[in-house]
Amino acid sequence: MKFTAAQIASILNGTIDGDASIEVSQLSKIEEGTMGSLTFLANPKYTPYIYKTNASLVIVNNDFVAEEDIAPTLIRVPDAYQAFSTLLEFYNNQKAAKAGIEKTAIIGEETAIDDSAYIGHYVVIGKNVTIGKNVSIHTHVVIEDDVTIGNDTVVFQHSTIHSSTTLGDFCVIHGGCVIGSDGFGFAPKEDGTYKKIPQTGRVVIEDHVDIGANSTIDRATLGETRICRGVKLDNQIQIAHNVEIGPNTVIAAQSGVAGSTKVGSNCVIGGQVGIIGHLKVGDNVRIQGQSGVTSNIKSDQALYGTPAMSYKDYIKSYIFFKRFPSIVKRLEALEKQPHE
């Protein structure tokens, strides 16, 4: 597909510096731009590339001021990064959208699938499932009984959606996810073995949630595990039974949240963070990567370390951690000095 600068500027409500008729047919990084490609400049660190890129069209912030001659046409917008994201969404929507059910799919009884939805090859769908408008279910997905999937949601290859799960509108479930599997519940017995506790709850995923590849979200023991509106989960994340993740919280890869913990809204949690069970994490909390959280956290805190502590305290303490070998040597030298 080809688009002119004028068409793109119209989509983004931007203004043009240069040739409005120039056409582009692909997207590129600014440092790898080629003729006929479109890119963007948002991070000031990449500013030098705008003077030597071969891209035909560059999206920039309104306040960008060129210090040298620039070959590509510019589209000025309030926020270049957000504008490029909007353009990616538009580009994806322009691709030929599939609809209908492939012949190799297996569909259970009493299942309602909107005519605009797409069900891919070798998909297995159970009984009493509801699938909304413009949903895409890709190859080899398994959807068990009593699942509801809202409008404009995408479930990618080899994911499994277990029974009684609800997915909202505009969700993206990446490949290999398992949603609604049993929570980790076992009761110790007198003989040292463990008896499995039935997991009878469900998973509720609200609108505009992204779940990264190979992530797992366990069903509740009783009640529900809930992922609130706007949550973004990276790849390989474990969310245990009865956990609640508040609106617009983001969690980076390989992190885990143990059972019955409640995480607030607008939190930012780094990679490989571990949060133990039955805690309450407030709103607007920042947790640095590889931290271990073992106690409740009030809102508006920034934490680091294992067990996690105040970010500022950790950084101050780390100075002493690094100096600890030399401090020990000094102490040993003092101990060897003769006493009066």
DSSP state, residue 48: G
Q: List Cβ neighbours of 73 (8 Å cut-off, separation of 6 or more).
A: 5, 16, 17, 18, 19, 20, 22, 56, 57, 58
Q: Which of 194, 160, 151, 195 is nearest to 180 (CA)?
A: 160
Tell me how crowded residue 94 is: count the other CB atoms within 10 A of its CB. 10
Contact 47, 37 (CB under 8 A): no
CB-based burial, 318-331: b 16+ in 10 Å, e otherwise? eeeeeeeeeeeeee
Q: Which of 28, 40, 48 is nearest to 73 (CA)?
A: 40
Is 241 among the residues known to form the active site? yes
Residue 140, by phi and psi: left (phi above 0), alpha (psi -120 to 50) or beta?
left
Q: Which of 174, 241, 278, 339 is catalytic?
A: 241
Q: Which two tokens stand for residue 174?
A: 């990446």
The interaxial angle of helices 80-94 and 5-12, nearest 10 deg, is 110
3-state secondary structure of 32: helix
List residues with catalytic annotation: 241
